[in-house]
Amino acid sequence: MPQSLPTVIVSAPVPPDLRSAVEAACRIVEVPIGERLDRAVPAAERQAARGVLCTVRTPVDAATLEALPGLKVVSNFAVGFDNIDVPHATGRGVLVCNTPGVLDRAVADLTMGLVICLARDMVAGDAFVRQGKWQRGAAPLTSDLAGKTLGLLGMGRIGRMVARRAQAFDMRVIYHNRNRDTQSEAQGLAAYRQRDALIAEADFLSVHIPLSPETRGSIGTREFDAMKRTAYLINTARGAVVDEAALVRALQEGRIAGAGLDVMEREPLDPGSPLCALPNVVLQAHVGSATVETRRAMMELAVRNLVDAMTGRTPQAMVNPAVWDASGAGHV
């Protein structure tokens, strides 16, 4: 008698052709995106579940992991995984996979887009034309990027992509990272600075650090007070690494010139948020990876990670690979 297919919970927008690849290896239990799995999945299916394919909107916390006792792998449709309690998953022998690499260029492009929008005040420029102000006189002058200093707080794959783009605009690039990127330094891509020196020197401070208990709220009043009054904050990483209330105060009081934000502490952002009322802020809807090509590549990798883990092949992107190694690599 043929062995039954393992059960996986899918809570992500999987295209039909990629869904077929999952169905060839697994039995799918569908759950609406963002629903708690410990509540939305029937008890019998929770017992049977061996895999999960989800977005960052799905919490995979301790309660969820406890409610899925047979779970072996969680494949996150994202490079970030702050929706997953990775230490708890590791302790239970649950492999966590993500989708790094494939979205780096798209996020770097958006980062530079925010830099350009702020330097050239393009959102206000659009309104200037639409409101007929151009008919009454010239638009206000804005600022060049050439010669300005871009400070990268975090120098991983995305940070390096941003640095390359900034060089094309003749910007000076400096960075701070837990570990020195000596290769980028040797290539002349960016110069290293201590964290406080980076914050004080940057004309544009661009955040590229992951969200963790250590980084949550780590950019706050102290950092804004240390920035130039003419400097801008760019955040395309995770909203919660910035103390949003402190940011709003700094913007309202003119302690920094403005901000470009693709991420916020709470998403979707309430239109009643003070951020929406500030003219020196450019806001995006967490769309750093939101291009047709990038999202397709991310889903391909997320599906491949899930199916590989379920069929005994080593997944390409593992957050806690020690779980795979300890399982005998192929017996998750």
Active site residues: 238, 267, 286
Instruction: Please give the C-alpha separations between residue 253 and each of 64, 154, 244, 277, in angstroms, as whole numbers.
Output: 43, 27, 14, 14
Question: Going along the chain, which residue ranges are E strands?
Answer: 7-11, 27-30, 49-54, 73-76, 95-97, 149-153, 172-176, 191-192, 204-207, 232-235, 258-261, 281-283
Instruction: Name every residue whose Cβ is closer than 8 Å to that of residue 254 and which is 6 or more positions away in sequence.
Output: 229
SS3 state of residue 59: coil
Pairwise CA distance, residues 94 & 106, whole Å: 30
Pairwise CA distance, residues 77 & 302, whole Å: 5
Instruction: Please give the C-alpha separations between residue 204 and each of 79, 144, 199, in angstroms, as whole numbers.
Output: 24, 12, 9
Q: With contact defined as beta carbons under 8 Å apart, do 118 and 144 qualify?
A: no
Pairwise CA distance, residues 31 & 54, whole Å: 9
Instruction: Name every residue whose Cβ is closer than 8 Å to that of residue 115 and which is 6 or more positions away in sequence.
Output: 145, 150, 166, 204, 206, 232, 234, 260
SS3 state of residue 42: coil
| Pair type for strands 27-30 and 258-261 | unpaired
Q: With contact defined as beta carbons under 8 Å apart, do 121 and 146 qualify?
A: no
